[in-house]
Amino acid sequence: MQRRALALFSGGLDSILACRVIMAQDIEVLALKFVTPFFDHGLLSRQEQYQQEMREKYRIDVRLVDLSNGYIDLLKKPAHGFGKHFNPCIDCKILMLTRAKELMANYDASFLITGEVLGQRPMSQRRDTMRVIERDSGCEGILLRPLSAQKMNPTLPEEQGIVDRDRLYGFAGRGRKPQLALAREFGIEDFPNPAGGCLLTDPNLAARIERFYNGLFVIDQEQFRADDFRLLLVGRQFRLPGGHWFVLGRNQGENRRLRDLARPGDYLLSMPDRPGPTGLLREDDRIDEQILCQAAALVVRYGKKTGSTRLPADVMVFHRKKEQCLQAVTPLADEVFQEWLV
């Protein structure tokens, strides 16, 4: 029988411990780190560095798996609803486990593990909910939770003798003392705090993302892409009259980020002769000269002052490899655009 498991790996202490508990039984573990626009997507740009860090710190072999497209669809109507904010925690776990099960054959693995602890989270780690997750992901019998296994029914890898059940644990509840003690046994001292990193649980960002799904801008849900959500989390966000989507960078780093996120059909705006923000106007088929002028006036409004005032300035518009100069654009008065701020 193949002695290899795939782990759902968040990078938090519980998932680290789950991997190490199974590895301690001379079972090979390959950890899958799922990423979406809402959590850990930045790791894709430094994948090799992250993998090396996990090997050096925890002796865990990690693979990154981008779930963006499936996750964007999931948020349209999660079968099990949302949590306190816009977080579909149950359906999120089902989606990750479903994908992990699909990857088992690729890696010649015979079962799955997670770092879940019975009763630790009120929405997704109740006993009844954990059973629903197993059922709906098609993982009944092959999903082992090493930290709480002794408080749950034996799984196939335990029954088949692949895993020694007596060397698993019976952790439960929200307390962290047992995990911290086990970490000391493994010599693990450097690990992340338990605070969640999912943007969908942040009250302000979750509200913005929910409004986006509910038609904040003139973009159809069927056209949503991962880079839309990366753009949604950058800079000052504006809904221009008519629902057009405009974003202003707040510093040089965000200005660079906007240029990186620009699609070929987007409009990039900046002032050639004065320090100020880069603006990105997401392309749609109803943008006209009036909308461009409104966006340009916002660029000037948030640009650097001349003395104590903001004077008119030229604004360059870059669109489909062409440049247009809007001359002597007057900064927009604050009372005009306050309702445009997202």
Is the pLDDT confidence value at 63 over 80?
A: yes
| Cα-Cα-Cα-Cα dihedral sign, residues 254, 259, 265, 267 | positive
d(CA 139, CA 148): 17
Q: Looking at the structure, tell me whether residues 13 and 145 fall in a common domain.
A: yes
Q: Looking at the structure, tell me whether residues 297 and 223 fall in a common domain.
A: yes
| 8 A C-beta contact, residue 162 and residue 155 | no
196 part of a folded domain: no
Q: Looking at the structure, tell me whether residues 232 and 104 fall in a common domain.
A: no
- pTM assigned to the model: 0.89
Quote the pLDDT of residue 2.
Answer: 65
Q: Looking at the structure, tell me whether residues 238 and 118 fall in a common domain.
A: no
Identify the domain boundary among 158, 185, 212. Answer: 185
Task: Read off the pLDDT of residues 98-116 as tens digits, 9 standing for 90 and up.
Answer: 999 999 999 999 999 999 9
Query: What CATH number did the domain enclosing 113 receive?
Result: 3.40.50.620
DSSP state of 39: B
Task: Read off the pLDDT of residues 317-326 as tens digits, 9 standing for 90 and up.
Answer: 999 999 999 9
Quote the pLDDT of residue 306.
Answer: 77
Q: Looking at the structure, tell me whether residues 31 and 161 fall in a common domain.
A: yes
Q: Looking at the structure, tell me whether residues 174 and 244 fall in a common domain.
A: no
DSSP string covering 122-164: TTT-SHHHHHHHHHHHT-TTTEE-TTTGGGSPPPHHHHTTSS-
Quote the pLDDT of residue 77.
Answer: 93
b/e map of 164-192 (b: 16 or more CB within 10 Å)? Answer: eeeebbebbeeeeebbeebbeeeebeebe
Q: Looking at the structure, tell me whether residues 151 and 208 fall in a common domain.
A: no
191 part of a folded domain: no
Quote the pLDDT of residue 26.
Answer: 96
Mean pLDDT of the chain, nearest integer: 94
Band of residue 340 on the pLDDT scale cut at 50, 70, 90: very high
- Over range 250-274, report the average pLDDT: 96
Q: Looking at the structure, tell me whether residues 134 and 169 fall in a common domain.
A: yes
Q: Looking at the structure, tell me whether residues 118 and 214 fall in a common domain.
A: no
Identify the domain boundary among 185, 218, 253. Answer: 185
Domain of 327 in residue numbering reads as 202-340
194 part of a folded domain: no
Three-state DSSP state, 263:
coil
Identify the domain boundary among 153, 185, 217. Answer: 185
Q: Looking at the structure, tell me whether residues 224 and 159 fall in a common domain.
A: no
Task: Read off the pLDDT of residues 184-224 as tens digits, 9 standing for 90 and up.
Answer: 999 998 888 765 678 999 999 999 999 999 999 999 888 99
User: Percentage of the chain surpassing pLDDT 70?
Assistant: 98
Q: Looking at the structure, tell me whether residues 242 and 295 fall in a common domain.
A: yes
Closest CA relative to residue 143, chosen from 172, 116, 121: 116
Structural domains of the chain, count: 2
Length of the chain: 342
178 part of a folded domain: yes
DSSP string covering 297-337: HHHHHTSPPBTTB---EEEEEEETTEEEEEEEEPPPPHHHH
b/e map of 243-261 (b: 16 or more CB within 10 Å)? Answer: ebbbbbbeeeebbebbeeb
Q: Looking at the structure, tell me whether residues 161 and 25 fall in a common domain.
A: yes
192 part of a folded domain: no
